[in-house]
Structure 1
Amino acid sequence: MVGRRGVGKTALLNLFFHETDHSQTQCVRVDATESRSLPSMLTPAFHLALLRMSTVDAAKASAARGLRALSSFARGQKAKFADIDVELDYEPEAGLADNGDLDGDLTALLIQIGAAAKAADTALVILLDDMQYIEEAQLAALISALHRVSQLVLPVILVGAGLPQIRGRAGNAKSYAERMFDYPEIEPVIQQTSIGVPMDALK
């Protein structure tokens, strides 16, 4: 979702979170900021989702491997992104999402999470707000990972929101992003008069 500040993008994401949180999906909500890296924001969110999936008998093994992949990912990316600070219970798995390259490691991690979601008969829904704050190389890695899990038909979905420039930034990060995503434009939910009274209140 793209739109100017104050048009209701965050409110819509909150509504999606409420709706999906009461469904059979595994929904995580992440607010991007200028001061934090994407890996530091995604790691605790993915940890929570995998722990929930691990309670499903059919997904225990896949979720456990996903948690090992997450530990490998966090350890491998820590050298680049010092703001990764989360306690993970599972030991890293050598050779899994741990080569230090964000593009490859995030792809490997999302594949494991997608496999766990498939085994649990659920879907991972990532709600990501203020995407304009994500640095371009990190955004490119996320788009690349989502592209790969889509090719593998794994149940991982991104619903994002950002200022209008996110469309161009995503296209610059990965040219195929324009074909991968829909970019609905969000208009103000309530028009106001010059004195600040909602127009609907005057009808």
Structure 2
Amino acid sequence: MNTAPSLRTQVKRGAPKASYDPALLHAIVDAAYICQIAFADAHGVHCIPTACWRSGDHLYIHGSNGSRMLQRLTEQDCCVTITHLDGLVLARSAFSHTMNYRSAMVYGRFEVVGEAAKRQALEDFMEHLVPGRQALVRSGNDKEYAATTALRISLAEAVCKVRSGPPSDDEEDMGIATWAGVLPLAQVRGTPVPDPQCALPAPDHVRDWVTS
């Protein structure tokens, strides 16, 4: 069910493209490996890309305890964005060209993930990157976990904006003799490249990387 927008998530420009459906929001976040986080400090306004993942109704990030960004994010509200570009839309008029995309914008304040939950959160991150990987690698040790901060932000105040389909030309431009349509774009998984110092056969999660 769609949730009501807040003053910060109310879309006014291109409102028909907006959605407040939590299922769509979760799908957009789950398809992402990177988000962009905008915040401010004494040096100005910053927008920093960082790895992200979702568990339940929260988006998670992590980093070094000394990270300036992580320190600031628990002190102020911020804005998190994710965008997937799905295609370039070529119209008959230059000003009707657009893009097909799926995007999400989240507002709120990050909170520190407690020590009891941090290990599980970081294991969830590994599973988000490559399902099945966590069980086959050395887990973090106490020193590594102690040097790492995990934060999470609620997805309660968020909005999605999506555009799909062919161009929408004005009626008076429909007779222009030029090609119109969509140039699709997609993230493609390439063939795994083994470490030259690794002679072991690829496990299932590596062999299945291209087709999963």
Higher helix share: 1
Same structural fold, with TM-score higher than 0.5 when normalized by the shorter chain: no
> Which entry has the higher C-alpha Rg, 1 or 2?
2
| TM-score normalised by the chain length of structure 2 | 0.24
Is the strand fraction higher in 1 or 2? Answer: 2
